[in-house]
Amino acid sequence: MLQAVHILQMHDAATTHWHHASSPYHEIGSSFDRLVLDQHRANFDLWHHEDATRDREASSHDLAEHKHAIDTLNQRRNDLAEQIDHTLLAAAPPQALTAPLHSETPGMMIDRLSILALKRFHTEEETRRDGADTAHQQRNRDRLAVLDEQIADLAGCLDALWTDIIDGRRRFKLYRQMKMYNDPTLNPVLYRKS
């Protein structure tokens, strides 16, 4: 069910597609793949809203709109990571319930791989950016090598964790993020206005 190389390939293909096409990415195999790509899309959109907030010429209105979008997308990103974990827990064998606990969930690791895929895409762009000097391009080639190593390490750890879960040597729990900022009953700024 879970293969890190497949997740990496989906992240890379979707990232490239979304940067060069306005249509959604449709090469989906399973409902699990859809969750992974929906979560990646939330990170993709977050990335670009975060970039837009750094525009020093942006209006206060535009910055507020981006901030609201970031809050909504961050909530979606976390909710989807939980859904990924919920799906994987349902697929885990019963003996995995008594194995030693792993602190990071596969959904959290997939989220980190998603962010690394975006960093890699944008760093690779900088290695060939028109008008950038050779020192800038080399610095980004060096960064790309580090990112590739981090992606490979994390993907290997994800595969090892899933194998340990399937074999009953490790387990994980569904950790709820308990986000409060979007909840009008928990955020004082929101409930004081109602």
Pair of tokens at residue 68: 């609201």
Confidence of residue 24 (pLDDT cuts 50, 70, 90): low
CA-CA-CA-CA dihedral for 38, 39, 41, 43, to nearest 10: 170
What is the C-alpha separation between 98 and 29, in angstroms, rounded?
Answer: 31
CB within 8 Å of 138: residues ≥ 6 apart = none
Confidence (pLDDT) at 188 = 65
Query: 3-state SS string over the chain?
Result: CCCHHHHHHHHHHHHHHHHHCCCCCCCCCCHHHHHHHHHHHHHHHHHHHHHHHCCCCCCHHHHHHHHHHHHHHHHHHHHHHHHHHHHHHHHCCHHHHCCCECCCCHHHHHHHHHHHHHHHHHHHHHCCCCCCCHHHHHHHHHHHHHHHHHHHHHHHHHHHHHHHHHCCCCECCCCCCCCCCCCCCCCHHHHCCC
User: Mind listing the pLDDT tens digit for each residue in 50-84?
Assistant: 999 999 999 999 999 999 999 999 999 999 999 99
Confidence (pLDDT) at 43 = 98
User: Mind listing the pLDDT tens digit for each residue in 94-146?
Assistant: 876 678 999 999 999 999 999 999 999 999 999 999 999 999 999 999 999 99
| Segment among 41-50, 81-90, 93-102 with least mean pLDDT | 93-102
Cα 58 from chain centre:
26
